[in-house]
Each structure stands twice: as structure tokens, then as C-alpha cells.
Amino acid sequence: MKNDSEPAFVDPANFDPHAPAFIANPYASYKWFRENEPIVWLEKDYQSYWVFRHEDVIQILDNSDIWVKELEVEEGSKKPALTKSLFASDGHRHAQLRELLGPLFRESTEGLELAVSAIAEGLIPDTKPGDIVNFIAEYAHPLPSQSLAHVLGINPGSWSTIVHLVNRIILANDPAQGKLARGVAGGAVLSMRFGALAAAFVEDHGLLGTALEALFELPEQLQPGKMVSLMSDLAKRSNGSEVDFTIKDVSANAVSLALAGYFTTTHVMGTGLVNLLNHPESLDTVKKAFESNSSSEIMPNVVSEMLRYDAPIHVLDRFANETTQLGGVTIEKGKKIAVVIGSANRDPDAIDDPDKFDISRNCNGMLSFGHGIHQCIGEQMLRRELPIALECLFTKFPSFEIAEPPTWQTDPYFRGYTDLQLRFK
Ligand code: HEM
């Protein structure tokens, strides 16, 4: 197989982002696109322009009035306007939601480190030399998932159903899987479930809340002081006030947080660990930093480089709100754009020697958390969580190796493993 920097020839008319060779290594193809056809229309599955250069990606993410999350519903259209989450909203409503939810999220993540350490300790497998463990299933999935349940304030009884629905929705993101209907149904159930949890929290919650409560038997209640109860509390206080935040907003935003808040961390834990294992000097530096309690000096860079080298999310969607010129291409109003941040992170015009995994580099220009108004609100959570996860692992297991080649997940919008078998020594 070609390595990251080896040139590939890509025939844009037949480019297939689901080809197994591309899924295993998209970087050589990204390089070809950046150099030869940096904006390309992809008809099959996506019907969108794929944008590969860092410069163009920044141009899109910086201009959120032109490149929007969702096109306005036409006046007179029969399509109902759905309640939009922070993730899906634009303009004024997005700014309003960010201002309302930012402080609640900060409050919910207070004391995160203690919770993550306890969860990590509980998950570290009990192994003897020679044992093989699937790192993704045993550690990289449950750790961020349970940490997110803690931040959202959802008890395990409800959380397991939520995780099941989230996994279903994430699978449906890939049009080639043909699981859109299952995903939409999963989204509707998840949204009702969060609505019911919020309604149970808000005493005077009206007809919608009563209906939702009647639909779901709720085994457990929300934990006070955490994200979903804080949002529910906001909805309660907003009732009859100037603040525009209802139970529907609680469920839309809880769904968004559940969707965005752990699978990304699972992915970077897997790829980040493999990149360290493939670069023994970097691995040694990280282990020594943990041993000498000096990891806080290097971990911010290490985490950034793990994210830059293999971004958990490779593609972000936008729509053109007006006909616009981008990199010499005319993009008509209403067209969809696939913003390939996984390629921008490897663009030599923005990052020196980008195909080198270098934990000491300055990662300015790294776009794995997005850029502009929608830049990830969970960035600090990941930055606090990942070092604890690695420290716990290396402290318990100073030595292990990759037992067999890991299996990539197959949605080109994401990058991560479904299986990573480690052999403990
Ligand atoms: C490795 C970890 C993570 C990565 C790589 C990541 C990546 C991203 C990216 C690329 C965006 C921008 C989306 C866009 O512009 O369309 C984003 C937004 C967002 N992320 Fe994350 N994320 C991570 C962790 C988290 C966590 C832990 C949470 C919360 C618990 C979270 C919640 C969100 C939310 C709510 C948004 C929407 C923000 C907005 O639209 O204003 N993310 N994330």
C-alpha cells in the first residue's frame, strides 16, 4: 500500500470515497486533489462539491453567512421548520444558543478529571501477559461514552438506550449504507426520549411534556447540576420570559451533544494510540512525561498532533446561501459543500511537512475541531479527557503491541477504528 505522502493518481470522474484503499489511506488522494482539482463535484452518494485546500476550507468556515448549515425553508413551503440545535443553527439563533449553552456546558464539566479517572480505572482490563484485548470495545468507546453520560447527567439505565440510538444515527450518516430511514427514526426516538427526561425534570411542562412522559417509562431521573438538567432548568425559567428556549430546544441540543460528544473521542484514542505505537520515540517521550509528572507541558501539543494527523471528523457539510465564487469555481445557491478538514490538516501550504507525525510541532492551522462560529464546544473536554485516558493506560500497562492490523470504520466523513486488538506483555 502507498504511504501517506506517495502520489496517487485520482480520476475525479470515478472518485469513490468508499473504496477500501481510500478508507485505509485517504491522504495520497487528498494530495492529488489539492494539487490538481481542489474543488470537485461528487455526484454519487453525495451530490456535493468536495473542497480540499486549507485556504478554501478557511474561506468557507469564516463566512458563515454565505456557507450555512441549513438553507432557509422557502416561504409558503409545507415543510415544517424544525427546532434547530446549536450544531444545526445559523446566524442570530446560533449566537443566541452558544451564549445560553456555553456557560451551562462549562458548569457541567466542572470536576471532569475526577470522574474520567474513576471511569478509566474501572475499565482497565485485568490482563496477564499474552492476553489480547479489543482496545476500542473495552476502553476507547466506553470511556468517552460514560464520561459524556456524566457530563450530561444521564444515569446508566437511560444511557445504554441512548448509546444504542446514537450508534444507529451515526451509521446512517453514510449514504452508502442505505440506513437513512433507520437513522431518522432513531433521531426521532432519541429526541422524544430527551424531551421526556426534560419534561420529567420541569414540573409545569405543558401538553408536550405530559405526552412525552406518558410515552416513555423513565427508569431514572436526570442528575441536577449537569447539562441536560441545566438546560431543562433554563427551559423552565424561560417559560413566559424573553429567553427563547423550550423543552424542544433541550431535546434538540441534548441529541447534538450525544451525537458529537463521544464517538469522536473514541476515534482519536484509537488512531492516536496507533500513531504513538508506530513512532516509538514519541511514545517514549509521552510515557516519560507521565512517569515524571510533567505531562501537562507536552500533552496539549501531543493531543493536537494526534487530532491533526488523523482527524476523527474528516468532512463537514455546508450549503451555499447565495451563488458564490470559490477558488475559481462558481457555486450556485442551494448547492451542498463537503469541507474536507482531514485534507486541510495535511496541506503543506498551511502546515510544514504535514505527512510527518511530530508531537513537538506547533499545530497552528489544525482544523480538527472546526473553525469559526461552529468551532467545537467540547474541545476542552477532549483535551482534559484524553491525557487521563492515556496516563491510566500506560501506568497500568507499560508495554503492549498491536496484535493484528486494526479495522477502519467505513464512512469517509470520519476516521477511526472499529477494532484495535492489543497484545499485552
Ligand atoms: C475528539 C473530539 C472532538 C472532535 C474532533 C470534535 C469535532 C468537532 C467539529 C469539527 C465541529 C464543527 C462542526 C461544524 O463546523 O460543522 C464540532 C462542533 C461541535 N462539537 Fe465537537 N468534537 C469533539 C468533541 C466534542 C465533545 C466532547 C463535545 C461535547 C460533549 C462536542 C460537542 C460539539 C458541539 C455541540 C458542536 C457544535 C458547535 C456549534 O455549532 O457551535 N464535541 N466538533
Does any ligand 1 atom lie closer than 6 A to the CB of residue 185? no
Whether residue 41 contacts residue 67, with contact meaning beta carbons closer than 8 Å, is answered with no
Judged against a pLDDT cut of 50, whether residue 396 lies above it is answered with: yes
Q: Looking at ligand 1, which residue's alpha carbon is closest to its atom 37?
A: 87
| Binding site membership of 87 for ligand 1 (Cβ less than 6 Å) | yes
Instruction: Give pTM, 2 decimals.
Output: 0.94
Cross-strand pairs, 424 = 400
Cβ–Cβ < 8 Å for 38, 347: no
Classify 225 in phi/psi space as left (phi over 0), alpha (psi -120 to 50) or beta. Answer: left
* Confidence band for 202, pLDDT divided at 50, 70 and 90: confident
Q: Give the three cell numbers for residue 106.
A: 462549562
pLDDT in tens, 355-395: 999 999 999 999 999 999 999 999 999 999 999 999 999 99
| Nearest CA-CA partner of 400 in 131, 138, 142, 124 | 131
Which ligand 1 atom minimizes the distance to the CA of 101? 35
Residue nearest to atom 31 of ligand 1 (CA): 378
Q: Assess whether the C-beta atom of 261 lies below 6 angstroms from ligand 1.
A: yes
Buried-state track 102-114, b at ≥16 Cβ within 10 A, e below 16: eebbeebbeebee
Q: 345 C-alpha to center of ligand 1: Å? A: 16
Mapped onto helix, strand or coil, the DSSP state of residue 15 is coil
Question: Which atom in ligand 1 lies closest to the alpha carbon of residue 372?
Answer: 15
Find out whether the beta carbon of 265 lies less than 6 Å from any atom of ligand 1. Answer: yes
Binding site membership of 257 for ligand 1 (Cβ less than 6 Å): yes
Whether the CB of 57 sits within 6 Å of ligand 1: no
148 lines ligand 1 (CB under 6 A): yes
Residue type for position 216: F
* Ligand 1 and 303: CB distance under 6 A: no
Four-point Cα dihedral 383, 386, 387, 393, nearest 10? 180
Residue 1 C-alpha to ligand 1 middle, in angstroms? 32
Taking only the tens place, the pLDDT of each residue in 270-325 is 999 999 999 999 999 999 999 999 999 999 999 999 999 999 999 999 999 999 99
Given ligand 1 and candidates 98, 255, 376, which is best to mutate, with the most ligand atoms within 8 Å of its CB?
A: 376
User: For residue 243, what pLDDT is reported?
Assistant: 85
Q: Is the CB of 253 under 6 A from ligand 1?
A: no
Nearest-CA residue for atom 8 of ligand 1: 369
